[in-house]
């Protein structure tokens, strides 16, 4: 099976000359459908940089990055933006919901970006994440775990084959963290998506198919779960 994301010889340098920061060096990595891949490593090791490059929201300095079979290094911004919209769902540590909008409206924003105007689509996505009874609630009325589940529902608008999550459980207590990681894990195991989770949280490790450790911008080790 071919990888949904294939990275070869990836280098990312921020800035130039004396100010250059070598955030990633010589990274090779395949991300497969149907698997949860966890990226771990100390703060500043390059995890967010790597996830952003995987999602086509940050450009590589050197190397090759293929997303869903297409080389994105050197791709024109418009084509990249279209590929991103079709292939990737993003989930962030801080949820990034609009506080003035209802839960349903927050998901509709994701659907509108996809050109989907079906009135029932947001409700269906929210049902998938167990929030069918919260459509009219505002983010402030929800727990952290519920907010993250809204963000996951929004990320699934457009049915992306790849879901990228940056520290999705970092702001959550352990019960909500577990629900969120179970949900993300189901997106891989039951729905066949490729799910990549950047995490510091040892509680989520049992849900990983692969665990990749990054240190100083390099892949230090790669373990497959039994
Ligand atoms: N926009 C930026 N400009 C300059 N340096 C950056 C930028 N973003 C990240 N860095 C640096 O790149 C390195 C990796 O950062 P990051 O990918 O955010 O690591 P992590 O997510 O593992 O904490 C760090 O040294 C960080 O300071
Ligand atoms: Mg980070």
Query: Is the CB of 47 within 6 Å of ligand 1?
Result: yes
Burial of residue 150 (number of CB atoms within 10 Å: 0-12, 13-18, 19+): buried
Ligand 2 centroid to residue 11 C-alpha, Å: 17
Neighbours of ion ligand 2 (CB under 5 A): 47-48
Nearest atom within ligand 1 for CA of residue 15: 4
What does the pLDDT look like over 113-171, one tens digit per residue? 999 988 899 999 999 999 999 999 999 999 999 999 999 999 999 999 999 999 999 99
Which DSSP string do the residues of 148-189 spell out, in sequence order? Answer: HHHHHHHHTTT--SEEEEESTTTTS-HHHHHHHHHHHHHHHH
CATH code, domain with 217: 3.40.50.300
Q: Please check whether residue 106 lies inside any domain of the structure.
A: yes
**45 Cβ below 6 A of ligand 1:** yes
Residue 26 lies in a domain: no
Atom of ligand 1 nearest to the CA of 217: 14
pLDDT at 1 over 60: no
Structural domain contains residue 64: no
Residue 27 in any domain: the answer is no
Residue 17 lies in a domain: no
How much is the pTM? 0.95
Domain membership of residue 173 as a residue range: 32-59+75-224
Q: Please say whether the beta carbons of 172 and 206 come within 8 A.
A: no
Question: 46 CB less than 6 Å from ligand 1?
Answer: yes
Nearest CA to ligand 1 atom 26: 44
Give me the number of domains the chain comprises: 1
Would you state the pLDDT for residue 203? 87
Is residue 7 situated within a structural domain? no
The one-character DSSP state at 1 is -
**Model confidence over 29-59: pLDDT tens digits?**
999 999 999 999 999 999 999 999 999 999 9
Task: Give dist(CA 28, CA 155) in Å, integer.
Answer: 26
Residue 160 lies in a domain: yes
Residue 69: inside a domain, yes or no? no
CA 132 to centroid of ligand 1, rounded, Å: 38
């Amino acid at each position: 099976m071919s990888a949904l994301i294939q990275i070869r010889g990836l280098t990312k340098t921020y800035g130039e000359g004396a100010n250059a920061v070598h955030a990633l060096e010589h990274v090779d990595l395949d991300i497969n459908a149907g698997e949860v891949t966890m990226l771990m490593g100390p703060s500043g090791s390059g995890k967010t940089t790597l996830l952003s490059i995987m999602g086509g929201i940050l450009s590589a300095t050197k190397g090759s990055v293929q997303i869903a079979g297409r080389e994105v290094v050197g791709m024109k911004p418009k084509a990249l933006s279209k590929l991103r919209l079709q292939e990737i769902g993003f989930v962030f540590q801080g949820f990034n919901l609009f506080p003035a909008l209802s839960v349903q409206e927050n998901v509709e924003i994701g659907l509108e970006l996809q050109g989907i105007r079906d009135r029932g689509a947001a409700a269906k996505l929210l049902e998938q994440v167990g929030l069918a009874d919260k459509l009219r609630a505002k983010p402030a009325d929800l727990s952290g775990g519920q907010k993250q589940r809204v963000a996951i529902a929004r990320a699934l608008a457009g049915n992306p084959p790849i879901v990228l999550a940056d520290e999705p459980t970092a702001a959550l207590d352990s019960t909500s963290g577990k629900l969120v990681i179970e949900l993300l894990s189901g997106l891989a195991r039951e729905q066949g998506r490729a799910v990549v989770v950047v995490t510091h949280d040892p509680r989520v490790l049992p849900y990983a198919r692969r665990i990749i450790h990054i240190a100083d911008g390099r892949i230090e080790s790669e373990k497959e779960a039994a």
